[in-house]
Amino acid sequence: MTEWPEWPVLRAEGRHPAPEQARRRPLLADSRDGRTFVLSGPTGALLVGDFVVTRPPAGGRLLGQLLERLDAEPSAGTMGGLLVGELRPDGTLGDHPRHPFASAAVEVARSDDLKTLQRSRQATLPVGTWRSAGVDVTARLRSQGFARHTFLCGQSGSGKTYALGVILEQLLLGTELRMVVLDPNADFVGLGQLRQDAPHDEGQRLRTTDIRVLGARKATGDPLRMRFATMPRQAQASVLRLDPLADRGEYNHFLHLMAESGPEEVDRVVEHLRQTGTNGEALAQRIENLGLGDWAVWAADLQSAAEVVDSGARATVLDLSGFASPDEPLAVSLDLLEDLWSRRESRQPTLIVLDEAHNICPAEPANLLQAALVDRLVQIAAEGRKYGLWLLLSTQRPSKIHAQVLSQCDNLVLMRMNSRADLAELAEVFGFAPPWMVHSSGYFVQGEALLAGTFVPAPSVIHMGARLTVQGGSDIDVPVAL
């Protein structure tokens, strides 16, 4: 495994060039291909990810980003980077001429240069603060970048849930994107509840947004329900834990029964089964042994979660906590995803958010029901983009997520992560994220994140901004003796 230098620590140790040394040795850049460049000189005050401006001998100002250290000693080392574009006098960013150059003068990018980059990439959604070489600007995301799948990862205590809330709020404010949030820990049940310190204008806009919260508990919001009768046959069979080969007799009997009787809820299915032969009795016993008749998730005369989403709600939060059976949240999630997939030809842009995604899309499904849920998510990850179905997954470790879903993500939000194995996997899977920046996440403070992919103008380390709405979950403090 590559050993990555602990470069953020170098700054803390004071290993900077003396001011007079910096004056004697200016920063210079060379480019052999007109695309990449090598920066030499006293680079100790610069970090990987910072932006600089080069002034080639032929004229002009080229914006570039530092992406790696080529020398172990920052006070007299070299850094490699990528040329992003030409900063034009009219305040726009154009394509760089791609001409090789040598000994170009270099200066750190100014705030106006960073804002020009954001404007040129149509980044408008404010999510925090972006610092480059000591210059701070508002960090902004590209709304169109969410037309790709997104992966948010960070260990416990990194601020992952809070950061996800910031992103969701800005998507509600800055887009018309329909949103569905599968929320295992009730962290987003307050998405429609404004904080007292929320700015007035943003607060008013969120207050008038149709945000529905569904849950098993009355205190959460409206009831979270599903319909067995309208599920596809394979999904129904997965709820019954029926394997088409291992349980071929019961499975086949179920198919014929449902074909003859038409759509039926679970209680009516049991009644019909009691009137048939041996396989019918075995299937009825299966349903009763699984306790399906006692589930609280059945809709009856209430709206199902799928029906709430289809009714036009802008954002629907499914609080998956509070059910007696661990299969109930899986079943209602599957019912919703099946409905979204069945309506895919409508091509209504929809962001499907999976918080604690390892509970819903694990690398190794625990049973047939979870396997059916993962299979549908794998299909959405592979084919959903052309129908406007996009995933946003949040979890603590990439290894917990099914590989075929993870590999389809084109956006990365990486918060503090100490595991070298996880960082190595992230650097390999997300090749568009500079490895030096990925491996720096072990030194992030709470709320700090690396953003990379189609939803950000350039790979950047930012500090997330303040939430506008109430966060549902929070850590429990250790009681202290007085």
**Ramachandran region of residue 437, left (φ > 0), alpha (ψ -120 to 50) or beta?**
alpha
This prediction has a pTM of 0.90
pLDDT in tens, 47-58: 999 999 999 999
User: Residue 91 is part of a domain; what is its CATH number?
Assistant: 2.40.30
Measured CA to CA, the distance from residue 449 to residue 190 in angstroms comes to 23
pLDDT at 13 over 50: no
78 and 144, same domain (yes or no): no
Q: Is the pLDDT of residue 21 over 50?
A: no
Q: How confident is the model at residue 478 (pLDDT cuts 50, 70, 90)?
A: low
One domain for residues 54 and 187: no
Same domain, 302 and 279: no
Q: What pLDDT is recorded for position 254? A: 86
Same domain, 269 and 391: no
Q: Is the pLDDT of residue 163 over 90?
A: yes
Residue 207 sits in the same domain as residue 178: yes
**Would you say residue 307 lies in a domain?**
yes
The rounded percent of the chain whose pLDDT value lies above 70 is: 91
Q: Across the chain, what does the average pLDDT equal?
A: 89
Confidence band (pLDDT; 50, 70, 90) for 245? Answer: very high
Structural domain total, the chain = 3
Q: Quick check: is 479 in a domain?
A: no
Q: Report strand pairing: 78-87 vs 62-69.
A: antiparallel
Does residue 472 belong to any structural domain of this protein? no
Q: Which tens digits make up the pLDDT trace of 59-112? A: 999 999 999 988 766 556 799 999 999 999 999 999 988 999 999 999 999 999
Q: Is residue 475 part of a domain?
A: no
Q: Which of 57, 92, 110 is the C-terminal boundary of a domain?
A: 110
98 and 180 both lie in a single domain = no
Same domain, 271 and 315: no
Asked whether residue 271 falls in the same domain as residue 364, the answer is no
Q: Chain centroid to CA 405: how far?
A: 12
CATH of the domain at 365: 3.40.50.300
Q: Is the pLDDT of residue 10 over 90?
A: no
The answer to whether 439 and 164 are in contact (CB under 8 A) is no
Q: Are residues 417 and 308 in the same domain?
A: yes
pLDDT digits (tens, 9 = 90+) for 194-235: 998 889 899 889 989 999 999 988 777 799 999 999 999 999
What is the per-residue pLDDT for 203? 87
254 in a structural domain: yes
Give domain status of residue 134, yes or no. Answer: no
Q: Among the listed ranges 148-157, 241-250, 325-334, which one has the minimum average pLDDT value?
A: 241-250
Whether residues 262 and 404 fall in one domain: no
One domain, residues 308 and 373: yes
> Could you give the CA distance from residue 137 to residue 131 in angstroms, rounded to a whole number?
7
CA atoms within 13 A on the CB side of 368: 14
For residues 422-436, give the mean pLDDT. 93
Tokens, residue 278: 């041996």
Tell me the residue length of the chain.
482
Domain annotation covers residue 123: no
Q: Return d(Cα 464, Cα 164) in angstroms, integer.
A: 10
Q: Which domain holds residue 378?
A: 139-227+298-464
Q: Is the Cβ–Cβ distance between 9 and 443 less than 8 Å?
A: yes
User: What pLDDT is recorded for position 75?
Assistant: 57
| 281 and 320 co-located in one domain | no
Would 17 be classed as within a structural domain? yes
- Chosen domain end from 250, 272, 289: 289
